[in-house]
Structure 1
Amino acid sequence: MKTLNILSGGAAQGLVRSLAPAFEAETGLSIAGDFGAVGAMADKLRTGAATDIVILTAALIAKLADEGLVLRSSITDIGRVETALAVRAGDPLVSANDAASLRAALLAADAIFVPDTKASTAGIHVGRVLAQLDIADVVADRLKIFPNGTTAMRHLAESGDRRPIGCTQSTEIISTKGIVLSGSLPPECGLATMYTAAIPTQASSASQAQRLIALLTSPETSALRSQTGFVSGLTS
């Protein structure tokens, strides 16, 4: 079977996979490619990876358009995704209504599972929040850093630590078995990131890529977007 090649931030993986059967039935194409830290995915496009569609942060898509790597006319927002807290299924939920309670929750954890703190949206934000809370040095040896949020959450689910916690984008938490969404970050520490799709200038299946974008953003799939963690009405 022919494939539509995708490079995407991990935040969109659950949504894309949910829509893959409908897309395949309509186009005869399966969806293949990589989901991971947005910086790493952008670099793959820059180095010539064969790609028909990219789904990254709006800011990064804009940069790629400026570099001539995606078609500006194809750029379409999908929705915003919050960075949130996760715990293992069965563990007590952790809530953080303000910066002080978030600081206390992170200090109480004996392991903190996060995505790449240099290349992923949520991981970069976690690093900033730890600095903002003045605990970066205190919890440095508790950080469990993985290439992307989905991988970090899988390891959280399997963790043998006593009081582990995770922090990544809500879509990656929702789509991972064995963990649950524990709550949003407090407003003063929060992040809601717009994810955007675009077609690379060198795409070989541009028309099919446009159809996937239409499915991802259709009013008919709004409930699915909500179920997988995309939200509306938030600002970043």
Structure 2
Amino acid sequence: MAKNLDILSGGAAQGLVARVQAAFEQQHGVRIAGTFGAVGMMKDKLVAGAPCDLLILSDALIRGLVAEGRADATTVRALGGVKTGVALKQGRSAVTIRDVDDLKALLQSAPAIYFPDPLKATAGIHFMKVLHALGLAGDAARLRTYPNGAMAMAALAQAPEADAVGSTQVTEILITQGVQLTGLLPAPHDLTTVYTAAVAKGAREPELARALIAALSAPEAAQVRRECGFD
């Protein structure tokens, strides 16, 4: 019977894990059981006692978990930075976002704006700050929030509003059918989040977790990481 390798991960890494999963499972005789979502929610699950061998979260959260004795400092490995992007429904003409004025005009024209949890998700927390900075946070009727970026983008793909707009990590936009990346959040509202992997303290399969970290971060996987939206 195959062993389970339990992962708690930010949604930004879901596409990357999926790309290496089949080969890794076959090589190591293991089944990867991944839970992906808002990084804050994944931390809450870990603290609540959810089974976990491998963590893939924002670098800041991983460092905090190391300090709390919940992650093994010797296994910490950065996978790369992920930018925060702007998404449109598939088939809509691309909109160029050169500066803040372009971004504000696009968001002002959108009948609905889809993005992840503004309290637990890295991109959602940041994007809500952007909306406040642009004076657009008060129009609650247009804001559509979801537990994580993948769910927000899936909802955007099915949105009844043809001109709806979304924002989340580029990685989550790229893996969602029905949406397209039209640009990145421009300065000074741009955001790049470094995602980092570490073996959880008390992991049942620490060696397999180490092996998966090595596979995800290996130089040979650099092209795959880029294709998935990692810098």
Q: Work out whether the TM-score is over 0.5.
A: yes
Aligned position for 1:46: 47
Aligned position for 1:71: 72
Amino acid of the residue matched to residue 191 of structure 2? L
Task: Name the CA distance, whole Å, in 2 between partners of 1:180 and 1:221.
Answer: 24
Aligned position for 2:14: 13
Matched, 1:205 2:205: yes
Task: Name the CA distance, whole Å, in 2 between partners of 1:47 and 1:199.
Answer: 17
Q: How many residues align?
A: 230
Per the TM alignment, residue 30 of structure 1 is displaced from its structure 2 partner at its CA by 1.5
Matched, 1:136 2:137: yes
Contact 2:112 2:143 in 1 (8 A): yes
Per the TM alignment, residue 11 of structure 1 is displaced from its structure 2 partner at its CA by 0.2
Task: Name the CA distance, whole Å, in 2 between partners of 1:30 and 1:182.
Answer: 35
Residues 90-146 of structure 1 show CA distances to partners (whole Å, capped at 9, x for unaligned) of 012122211111111100000111000100000000111011112211x32111100
Task: Name the CA distance, whole Å, in 1 between partners of 2:58 and 2:208.
Answer: 21
Amino acid of the residue matched to residue 168 of structure 2? T
Amino acid of the residue matched to residue 183 of structure 2? G
Aligned position for 1:57: 58
Unaligned 5+ segments in structure 2 are none
Contact 1:153 1:173 in 2 (8 A): yes
Per the TM alignment, residue 187 of structure 1 is displaced from its structure 2 partner at its CA by 1.9
Task: Name the CA distance, whole Å, in 1 between partners of 2:131 and 2:176.
Answer: 24
When the two chains are superposed, the root-mean-square deviation of aligned CA atoms in Å is 0.8
Percent identity, aligned pairs only?
45
Contact 1:87 1:164 in 2 (8 A): yes
Task: Name the CA distance, whole Å, in 2 between partners of 1:182 and 1:22.
Answer: 32
Task: Name the CA distance, whole Å, in 1 between partners of 2:3 and 2:206.
Answer: 14
Aligned position for 1:215: 215
How does the TM-score come out when normalised to structure 2?
0.98
Contact 2:89 2:162 in 1 (8 A): no
Matched, 1:160 2:148: no
Matched, 1:180 2:180: yes
Task: Name the CA distance, whole Å, in 2 between partners of 1:61 and 1:94.
Answer: 35
How does the TM-score come out when normalised to structure 1?
0.96
Aligned position for 1:234: none
Unaligned 5+ segments in structure 1 are 232-236
Amino acid of the residue matched to residue 133 of structure 1? L
Contact 1:85 1:94 in 2 (8 A): no
Matched, 1:109 2:80: no
Contact 2:107 2:113 in 1 (8 A): yes
Task: Name the CA distance, whole Å, in 2 between partners of 1:111 and 1:152.
Answer: 12
SS at the partner of 2:49?
Answer: coil
Amino acid of the residue matched to residue 92 of structure 1? S
